[in-house]
Amino acid sequence: MARRHPHRWPTAMRHDGRDYLTTAQVSRALGIQPASVYAYVSRGHLESVRIAGIRGSLFAVGEVEALRRRTQRRPPAGVVERIRTEITLLDDDHLYYRGRDVTELAFAADFLEVVDMLWATTGTGAGRDAAPAITPPTLPGTGRRLDGIRVTVDLLGAADEFRGRIATDDVADKAKGVIDAVVDTMPVVAGYDTGSTVAQRLWCRLSPMAPTPRRVRLLDAALILLADHDLAAGTVAARVAASARGSIYAVISAGLGAFDGPLHGGATTLAYEFLASVLADAEGPEHAVADHLRGHELPPGCGHVVYRHRDPRAVALLDGLAADGGGRDVLAAVDAVRAGVAGRPRGFVNSDLALAAFTLRYRMVPDAAETIFAIARIAGWVAHAIEEYRAPRLRFRPEGVYTGVRPAT
């Protein structure tokens, strides 16, 4: 049926703090026949209400406005319902990067080799447009390493006069400069000559223990396992920034903004604190876990919104930790947690607890788990940015449905 030309919103009736329109008013506002209004009701697209003393059906203005936006012919606002990606697949409690099982990659490749795979680059860039050198930031004594990472990224962006370049090679060169800088500007915990890889250089900034090849290999594996996880909150934030054609520094900063909270990056800190308390319990880990479970469904570092029966990242990292030997107290604490949550819905340990166990085993600084996670995830955000730079720009434009007081007409 042909639409009438839509009119201005008619004067609404006020009731219990909400504005309502009659069927005739909705018909005029949408430019349709009254019969079409009821057709929308029967299809579940519009809800009618009854108010005592008022004849006929009434419709909330907010819902009518939402329907108008969905049905009105106009250029699309760019709402994205699904984001197509070729980077990461989560399938049946398995994790894949570009079709490769991540638990196999973790112990077979170097972190930067996996970075090149995620970014779909050759790793042979000349570094002609790499991130500039900066002076390490000075932070308050209470500052976390994550704070240092955020400041470092911002300083790098401010110092790069070519930060707006978003060609893949330029982005890759700058992003590798970012990873190098956030590692190299961290304070050193132990003065070991650890080599040139990311994991080798990071180790002496997190742990006082000697960086044996097996230990550094485990740190490399942790970085690889946590590099990407499909569309987690930080990744969505990073893609929104890339869609607006923000620089790669802005993209990483956006990701870090979403990451810096108790439900994302901070979850590793909660898991660390919980596992540390289990280790410190004078009556043993089983007592500590049982005591915690009396007031909670699952402790920090357990369960997951995506995985159903196991977190493959946790399995791989904990298996590697067990193979290294030593750390029996930490592994006993993890086993106590596993036994305590077994049989409960999503009763398994996740990567947060595994990373906490890893950092406790090697006496790393208290915020090491969060730091490793953040550095690893920068790689994933850059991969998604490269993909998003090739997509139509400004495509993230969800429409709000106004539910407040309508302005007077």
Q: Contacts from 87-92 at CB under 8 Å and sequence distance 24+? A: 87/118, 87/228, 87/230, 87/380, 87/383, 87/384, 87/387, 88/228, 88/229, 88/230, 88/380, 89/230, 90/229, 90/230, 90/306, 90/307
> What pLDDT score was predicted for residue 380?
98
Q: Which domain holds residue 49?
A: 1-78+399-409
> What pLDDT score was predicted for residue 286?
94
72, 86: one domain = no
> What pLDDT score was predicted for residue 141?
63
74, 89: one domain = no
**Measured distance CA(356)–CA(349) in Å, rounded:** 11
Q: What are the helix (H) ranges across 3-96?
A: 23-30, 34-42, 61-71
In sequence order, the 6+-apart residues with CB closer than 8 A to the CB of 170 are 129, 162
94, 51: one domain = no
CA atoms within 13 A on the CB side of 227: 33
Token representation of residue 37: 């209004």
Q: Answer for the pair 68, 37: CB distance below 8 angstroms, yes or no.
A: no
233, 259: one domain = yes
**Segments of the chain with pLDDT less than 70:** 1-9, 71-81, 123-131, 136-137, 139-142, 409
Neighbours of 282 (CB within 10 A): 6
> What pLDDT score was predicted for residue 35?
86
Q: Would strands 94-97 and 100-101 be described as parallel, antiparallel, or unpaired? A: antiparallel
> What pLDDT score was predicted for residue 129?
60
Q: Answer for the pair 302, 345: CB distance below 8 angstroms, yes or no.
A: no
> What pLDDT score was predicted for residue 140?
67
User: Can you give the three-state secondary structure of 1-14, one letter per residue?
Assistant: CCCCCCCCCCCCEE
Query: What number of H helices and E strands is found in the chain?
Result: 17, 6
CATH number at residue 406: 1.10.1660
Neighbours of 89 (CB within 10 A): 16
310, 242: one domain = yes
> What pLDDT score was predicted for residue 75?
43
Residue showing tokens 């009105």: 72
69, 168: one domain = no
The number of angstroms, rounded, from the C-alpha of 287 to the middle of its chain's C-alpha atoms is 33
* Count of the separate structural domains present in the chain: 2
Q: Kindly state the helix (H) or strand (E) to which residue 243 belongs, with its residue range.
A: helix 233-243
User: DSSP string covering 103-165, please?
Assistant: HHHTTTS-HHHHHHHHHT--S----TTPPPP-PPPP--TT--HHHHHHHHHHHHHHH-TTTT-
Q: Answer for the pair 395, 78: CB distance below 8 angstroms, yes or no.
A: yes
258, 190: one domain = yes
Token representation of residue 54: 């008022």
> What pLDDT score was predicted for residue 125?
53
382, 403: one domain = no
As a whole number of Å, the CA-based R_g of the chain is 27
42, 108: one domain = no
**Measured distance CA(393)–CA(376) in Å, rounded:** 26
Residue-wise burial string across 3-12, b where 16 or more C-beta atoms lie within 10 A, e elsewhere: eeeeeebbeb
Neighbours of 43 (CB within 10 A): 8
Per the confidence metrics, is the pTM higher than 0.85? no
203, 341: one domain = yes
86, 43: one domain = no
> What pLDDT score was predicted for residue 72?
63
84, 74: one domain = no
- 245, with CB counted inside 10 A (0-12, 13-18, 19+), is middle
**Measured distance CA(342)–CA(127) in Å, rounded:** 50
Residue showing tokens 């209400």: 49
